[in-house]
Amino acid sequence: MHVLVAVALLLAADASPLSPGDYSRTVQVDGSERSYLVHVPPQYVADSPTPVVLAFHGGGANAHNMVGFSGLNHKADQSGFIAVYPEGTGRLERMLTFNAGNCCGQASARNVDDVAFVRHVLDDLEGVANVDRRRVFATGMSNGAMMAYRLASEMSDRIAAIAPVSGPMGTKDCRPGRAVPVMHFHGDADEFAPFSGGKGRGPTGTEFYSVDHSINAWVDANECKKNPRTTQLPDREKDGTTVKQVRYEFGKEGAEVVLVVIEGGGHTWPGNEPRMRSLGVSTRDISANDMMWEFFQQHPMK
**What's the pLDDT score for residue 8?**
47
**What's the pLDDT score for residue 4?**
45
- Per-residue HEC secondary structure of 258-281 comes to EEEEEECCCCCCCCCCCCCHHHCC
Question: 107 to each of 76, 104, 138, 234, how far by Cα in Å?
Answer: 29, 6, 19, 40
246-282 pLDDT, tens digit each: 999 999 999 999 999 999 999 999 999 988 889 999 9
- Please give the mean pLDDT across all residues of the chain: 94
**144 alpha-carbon distance from chain centroid:** 6
**What's the pLDDT score for residue 14?**
60
Find the mean pLDDT for residues 213-222: 98
**What's the pLDDT score for residue 94?**
82
Is the pLDDT at 13 greater than 70? The verdict is no
- Domain extents for the chain? 2-298
133-192 pLDDT, tens digit each: 999 999 999 999 999 999 999 999 999 999 999 999 999 999 999 999 999 999 999 999
Asked if residues 54 and 162 have their Cβ atoms less than 8 Å apart, the reply is no
CA distance 242 to 104: 30
Is the pLDDT at 10 greater than 90? The verdict is no
DSSP states along the chain? -HHHHHHHHHHHTS-PPP-SEEEEEEEEETTEEEEEEEEE-TT--TTS-EEEEEEEPPTTB-HHHHHHHH-HHHHHHHHT-EEEEE--EEEETTEEE---SS--HHHHHTT--HHHHHHHHHHHHHTTS-EEEEEEEEEEETHHHHHHHHHHHH-TTT--EEEEES---SSS----SS---EEEEEETT-SSS-TT-B--SSTT---BPPHHHHHHHHHHHTT--SS-EEEEPP--S-SS-EEEEEEE---GGG--EEEEEEET--SS-TTS--S-GGG----SS--HHHHHHHHHHH----
Class of domain 2-298: alpha beta
